[in-house]
Structure 1
Amino acid sequence: MPFSSGPVTGQPIWDMLGTTMPRGILGLSDPDVHLIHGRWFMFVGGFSTSFRNRLYQARLPNGAGPDQAGWLLDRRPIIDDPPKGAWDAGGMHTPSYVPPHGERSARIYYAGRVGARHYGRGSAYAIGVLTRNSRGQWARNAAPVLCGWPGRPSVLEPLVIAVDTGYRMWFLATPHEVAPGEQPNFELHVTDSADGIQWEPSRRFATCEEGFFDNAVYPTSHGWEMTLARGTNLHGTTPYPDQGLWVMRAATPSPDRAAWSTPERVLDTAAPGTPSWMARGVCGPSVIPLPDGRRIVFLTGTHDVDSWWQATRLRMAHARRIAVPSPYFLATGTIDMTDVT
């Protein structure tokens, strides 16, 4: 067993049912954490009190480590809303930051919602990109860089890294986001690009039977790791696939599944003692390996609550406020995993 299997340790940074939601924000999800010019930054999707899905940036104080508290969210989104009628006018989700690579500036890939529906039949997503200009501002590419295909018209949850040949992207391909009472139909795909804009035809990386929703890919002292999540049981559907995290290892960040080890489960969110804020599963992992063998895993969990009334009781106990009317309640936070190899 390469990872310890003790109880989950971690806490929310922002919690829809806690006291920590920034003003003007209803929920935050899919954190993506990077060390930029010696300071830790997080790119994260947010749902504002004006009912818009936007991309935000948070940062730790200078000198703070990724395992420390003190994240401060910039309340202004990193880019203005797409224009009315644009392909991503329904909202922007799931940022994946890539630092400057060769002669190309930093980028943020993201999932854009095509219409008003968040989930179920009729919901549709594509993948777009922001580029940072010479003034340090983000500019939105007017067209998506990756779209779905017949049978799997929605592509989302991009995870992009720089490689010697250009860029590599893992992403979710699905008919649509899961609606209440439905079972997930998730496949992970992978594709390469020389310039990060024009992408090669993708190939399947993980099957529908495995059910992985999204992933993180990162270097370690002994090669590369991939942490995978199955998403979360947003709507409390029963039965539903087991939720949690799995880890695979490889010598390089290969697009070939055969190069990776067998997935090992490292988090079971149905286990006794799992905190409510992640008890219906986790998604959006972003992993920072530390020199002492720990992995700081930033992720989003779904609260195990059955109704708005139950959510309000929890919210009142912590924040003395009623819960925002919502079909589900998210929290974004961290957990620790320890490598014992």
Structure 2
Amino acid sequence: MNFVIQKTIKLFDQIDKYKGLHNILGIGDPHVVKIQNQWVMFVGGFQTNFKNNIFTATLPVGEPLSSNNWRITTCENNENKAKPLGENSQKGSWDYYGFHTPCYVCGIGKDGTEIERVYYTGRASNKVVDNQAPYSIGMFEKTMDGWVRHPNPILTGTKDSPNVLEPKIRYIEGKWRAWYVTTKQETGRSGYPNYTMMYAESDDGIDNWSKPIPLFLEDENFYDASVHKSNTYGYEMAVCRSTNLYGRSPFPMQGLWLLKGDKPNGDRANWSKTPQIILDAKKGENWYKNGIGSPCGHYGESEDDENTLYMFFTGLHSERNWLQIAKNNLKMKKLPPFPSPFYFTIGKVELTKISDLTRNQ
């Protein structure tokens, strides 16, 4: 075994609510990055207007990833309101119903200046699953006036597979590199999930993307592909599957897997032949037993934890009965959560690396 699980930790739980914040009903899809001397978590949040938007949480300046002191960013004039990255788009827009799965990227423009962006999945359908309109991938860019939404999608689907989502975009070696998933329709209460993981790259991260190539086909059914720098050599890729929202059976196995690659690309031969499972949801805790999504990993920065891989993710609760959850909360003198068909948690797993993956495993 290459990794040993030290602990799994809940950070934000939809069932426990969010410490008095009144404009978000649930958050998930964490993307954790270090900006200057502070770790920042970009998340997708379901708002009380029933649209999704992008929010952030932060660790105190200077605190390492071993800290659990994450705090959701609130509005300057209202500490009970989570601060969105920007306003939702206007009616009729391709992403009118909200922004999902944010991914922060800092890259270099053609003129040599630094560019900060947040890529996201835009929803055109009022349905999150069994959607009636396609998902596409869009972008915010940071300016002197704040975050500005790019008006058009950055990546779109095809006639046969119209939905693209789950953008995991990195700026590596002068290229904007996109790993994302495509499907005919987001799977809901019926049907079997069928996803293909794609890879494309661009010089500017907006236009002229290379012809997408498949990395994982429908038989592997991976839903996210999050690449991070290895602490020894090359790169590692964390993958998961579409979460089992409704507790259906049969359904693809839920968990987190890891692959090793020499290069940050979409060539299947570059990555480990067999993905290694590092977190089996079925054997885990109730807050992620029904699935794991949106992994994002970093190694520790100090000598003490340079072999610790901190993997952030969304966990899907196995408990789905709102009435029972409400009763349990009231017993603990807590308010019940908003009624929902499923409940998300943002958490992390801390793994100690005891040996390296080889590319052809």
Structure 2 length normalisation: TM-score? Answer: 0.89
- Structure 2 counterpart of 1:26: 25
- Structure 2 counterpart of 1:171: 180
User: Would you say 1:301 and 2:311 are equivalent positions?
Assistant: no
C-alpha contact (below 8 Å) 2:137/2:165 kept by paired residues? yes
- Structure 2 counterpart of 1:3: 3
How far the C-alpha of 1:245 sits from its partner, in A, is: 0.6
User: Would you say 1:107 and 2:83 are equivalent positions?
Assistant: no
Gaps in structure 1 of 5+ consecutive residues? none
User: Would you say 1:211 and 2:218 are equivalent positions?
Assistant: no
- One-letter code of the match for 1:296? Y
- Structure 2 counterpart of 1:241: 252
C-alpha contact (below 8 Å) 1:14/1:21 kept by paired residues? no
Distance 1:318 1:41, change over 3 A: farther
C-alpha contact (below 8 Å) 1:182/1:237 kept by paired residues? no
Q: How much identity, in percent, do the aligned residues show?
A: 32
How far the C-alpha of 1:49 sits from its partner, in A, is: 2.1
- One-letter code of the match for 2:85? I
Name the stretch that deviates more: 218-227 or 15-24.
15-24
Aligned residues: 336
CA distance in 2: counterparts of 1:48 and 1:175, whole angstroms: 26
How far the C-alpha of 1:121 sits from its partner, in A, is: 4.7
- One-letter code of the match for 2:120? Y
CA distance in 2: counterparts of 1:209 and 1:92, whole angstroms: 28
Partner SS for 1:312: helix
Distance 1:22 1:170, change over 3 A: farther
- Structure 1 counterpart of 2:346: 332
- Structure 2 counterpart of 1:98: 105
CA distance in 1: counterparts of 2:258 and 2:51, whole angstroms: 33
Which whole-Å deviations, capped at 9, do the CAs of 1:268-327 have from their partners, x for residues lacking one?
1111xx211100010001111124311111110110024222332343345522231111
- One-letter code of the match for 2:72? L
How far the C-alpha of 1:186 sits from its partner, in A, is: 0.9
- Structure 1 counterpart of 2:156: 147
Which of 279, 288, 292 is 1:282 aligned to? 292
Gaps in structure 2 of 5+ consecutive residues? 74-81, 356-361
Which of 307, 329, 334 is 1:315 aligned to? 329
CA distance in 2: counterparts of 1:164 and 1:276, whole angstroms: 40
CA distance in 2: counterparts of 1:208 and 1:114, whole angstroms: 24
- One-letter code of the match for 2:2? P
C-alpha contact (below 8 Å) 1:32/1:43 kept by paired residues? yes
C-alpha contact (below 8 Å) 2:58/2:71 kept by paired residues? yes
CA distance in 2: counterparts of 1:236 and 1:179, whole angstroms: 11
State the superposition RMSD in angstroms.
1.6
CA distance in 1: counterparts of 2:155 and 2:19, whole angstroms: 32
Distance 1:19 1:125, change over 3 A: closer
- One-letter code of the match for 1:322? P
CA distance in 1: counterparts of 2:139 and 2:254, whole angstroms: 29
CA distance in 1: counterparts of 2:332 and 2:170, whole angstroms: 39
